[in-house]
Amino acid sequence: MLHKFKEVLFNSSEYAYAIIDAAKIKELTTELLIYEPEYQMLFEGEDAIKLEEVAPYLVRLDEKNVLTQWIIDNVYGNDGAIFFHSHHSIETLTEHFKRFIKVTREVTDPKTEKCMIQEGFLAYYDPRVLPEWLESVDLAVKRDFLSQTSRLYYEDLHHKHVLHAYDETGKQEKMFLDEARV
């Protein structure tokens, strides 16, 4: 199954990327320092300093870098990342995906009944969050989010042999990674 997933990632003329959740993949920051792939943290400012060990990281996957195999072996199947193809640079993609990290919402304080603005993080890089979020936003937001990717992949939460994919228009499809279903 993982061999088939690697084929999907590298059977494209575009770059393969992952956005990996360091909060779930505890060894990630150490592995990034050891193998030195092209990567960027998606938090910025004070959040980047305080939350470095649990931040999401955008990583360009290189088929020849040992880290890529480590990611395939240790991240896929553990609800720790989304993957995609893009022809854009990591710098362009970092700026694009940072736009979706911070969210604000209005909440009512139950004691004072005053309306307050609450800030938080949207963990769209979590395969449990991504499909629900993309299905809940309007089509313009979905297309904007997907606009820098040609194909975005996330694992199925119940069937590890199933990979879901979105194209840049928001159309979704299922792919089967086991040989019997291909």
124: left (phi over 0), alpha (psi -120 to 50) or beta: alpha
Is the residue at 84 inside a domain?
Answer: yes
Residue of higher predicted confidence among 10 and 177 = 10
List Cβ neighbours of 10 (8 Å cut-off, separation of 6 or more): 16, 61, 63
pLDDT digits (tens, 9 = 90+) for 3-48: 888 999 998 899 999 999 999 999 999 999 999 999 999 999 999 8
Q: Give the relative orientation of helices 66-74 and 2-10 as an angle to the nearest 10 degrees.
A: 130
Checking if the pLDDT of 69 tops 80, the result is yes
Domain residues for 80? Answer: 2-176
Q: Is residue 182 part of a domain?
A: no
- Judge contact between 22 and 39, C-beta under 8 A: no
Does residue 153 sit within a domain? yes
Residue 40 lies in a domain: yes
pLDDT, the chain, mean: 91
- Residue 180 has a pLDDT of 44
Model confidence pTM above 0.85:
yes
Domain count of the fold of the chain: 1
CA gap 14, 95 in Å, rounded: 19
Q: What is the pLDDT of residue 127?
A: 94
Query: Is residue 103 within 8 Å of 124, Cβ to Cβ?
Result: no
The span from the first CA to the last CA of the chain, in angstroms, equals 11
For residues 75 and 67, give the distance between their C-alpha atoms in angstroms, rounded to a whole number: 11
Q: Each residue of 72-96: pLDDT tens digit? A: 999 988 889 999 999 999 999 999 9
In a domain, 30, yes or no: yes
Region of 143 on the Ramachandran plot (φ > 0 left; ψ -120 to 50 alpha; else beta): alpha
In the prediction, which pLDDT does 93 show? 98
Classify residue 116: in a domain, yes or no. Answer: yes
What digits encode the pLDDT tens for the residues 131-170? 999 999 999 999 999 999 999 999 988 887 888 999 988 8
What is residue 19's predicted lDDT score, i.e. its pLDDT?
98
Overall average pLDDT of the 97-126 stretch: 89
Structure confidence at residue 182 (pLDDT): 41
Domain presence at residue 181: no
What pLDDT does 179 receive? Answer: 54
Asked whether the beta carbons of 8 and 163 are under 8 A apart, the reply is yes
